[in-house]
Amino acid sequence: SIMDGGTLEPLKIVSTRGATVDGEYHPEPRVASIVASHIKPEWVVNVKETGMIKLVDYSDLNNLKETTINSAKFLHDGGWDYTKRYFLVAANASHKVAAVDTKTGKLAALVDTKKIPHPGRGANFIHPKFGPVWATGHLGDAVITLISTPTDDPKYKQYKQYNWKVVQELKTPGAGNLFVKTHPKSKHLWTDMPMNPERENAESNMVFDLTDLSKPPVKIDVAKDSGLPVTKALRRAVHQEFSQDGSEVWISLWGGKTDQSAIVIYDDKTLKLKKVITDPKMITP
């Protein structure tokens, strides 16, 4: 659905039904994610079940133009590389990451990864050995995958040989990751494991030192730091977010459907607890 940005009035409905990348017709494929290009008046629309990526030119809604790109199934979350030219999206049933070049309107790469990549938006940083990289976690494997991404910046030209390759896999205690986060002013990569079946993993975040990725990550026991009592249900530490200035990390602690939940805040430099926001009325099923 295309809506007016100011009033949310529906303006146009565009069907996503059609053939999958395997050539089979799908009557009702879902849209997994949509982002707006930073280069053109265009949306990047990821159609989940078909494995098709649509670039939709919204400059003339009466004469809508679409470019359809074959990638892989099933498309899910994704995010921009650090240049904001390439959009990387997980094809989690195929264990791949698809990269779209929004400047040329073509598929730039289809990168093989470990099982079931789930990046959220992913995370960009400058690797000390491989230059600009984009990170994704995995629901199905205990690693954080780092993929080299291209740039026209001459100061990174020596890293071109690594582009669109998996350059490193950071080991974590278990699978079940949903989000990886960093910030331009941070030296840390924060990762969660809320879908892991083990309490000690699901209730924690692992924090990697971006200045020395050979070091094991620091484990942050978010559930313990919340001060809330242990419950039968796992309290899942999930969806960590940086403050705008990059000084703090806010983590949601999701309790069971009748249990008190919390937002737990850390100082990013020291990794120390700063504050817990909670209330008996704060219940997150």
Please give the share of the chain, as a percent, with pLDDT higher than 90.
Answer: 99
Q: Counting Cβ atoms within 10 Å, is residue 211 exposed (0-12), middle (13-18) or buried (19+)?
A: exposed
pLDDT at position 285 over 80 = no
Q: What are the helix (H) ranges across the chain?
A: 199-202, 222-226
The yes or no reply on domain 2-171 and CATH 2.140.10.20 is: yes
Q: pLDDT by residue (tens digit) across 167-188?
A: 999 999 999 999 999 999 999 9
pLDDT at 229: 96
pLDDT at 84: 97
Q: Counting Cβ atoms within 10 Å, is residue 1 exposed (0-12), middle (13-18) or buried (19+)?
A: exposed
pLDDT at position 75 over 80 = yes
- Token pair belonging to 113: 């990864």
Instruction: Give bridge partners of residue 43 from the DSSP assignment.
Output: 36, 56
Burial annotation 82-101 (CB, 10 A radius, 16+ → b, else e)? beebbbbbbbbebbbbbbbb
Q: pLDDT by residue (tens digit) across 82-105?
A: 999 999 999 999 999 999 999 999
Give residue 284's pLDDT band: very low, low, confident or very high (50, 70, 90): confident
- Token pair belonging to 172: 């974590």
DSSP state of 185: T
- Token pair belonging to 105: 């309107």
- Token pair belonging to 204: 């924690």
The C-alpha atoms of residue 55 and residue 102 are separated, in whole angstroms, by: 8
Question: Average pLDDT in the 72-82 region?
Answer: 95
pLDDT at 199: 98
pLDDT at 44: 98
Residue 121 CB partners (closer than 8 Å, separation 6+): 77, 78, 79, 80
- Token pair belonging to 120: 């959220």
What is the DSSP code string of 19-67?
A: E-TTS-EESSPPEEEEEE-SSSSEEEEEETTTTEEEEEE-S-GGG-EEE
Question: Average pLDDT in the 232-251 region?
Answer: 97
Q: 3-state DSSP: the chain helix, strand, coil percent, rounded to 5?
A: 5, 50, 45
Question: So where are the chain's domains?
Answer: 2-171
Distance (Å) of CA 180 to CA 17, 40, 163, 177: 32, 28, 20, 8
The C-alpha atoms of residue 274 and residue 76 are separated, in whole angstroms, by: 34
Provide the mean pLDDT of the chain. 97
Q: pLDDT by residue (tens digit) across 133-178?
A: 999 999 999 999 999 999 999 999 999 999 999 999 999 999 999 9
Distance (Å) of CA 54 to CA 24, 44, 69, 154, 270: 17, 6, 6, 31, 43
Question: Average pLDDT in the 67-83 region?
Answer: 96
Q: What are the helix (H) ranges across 156-212?
A: 199-202
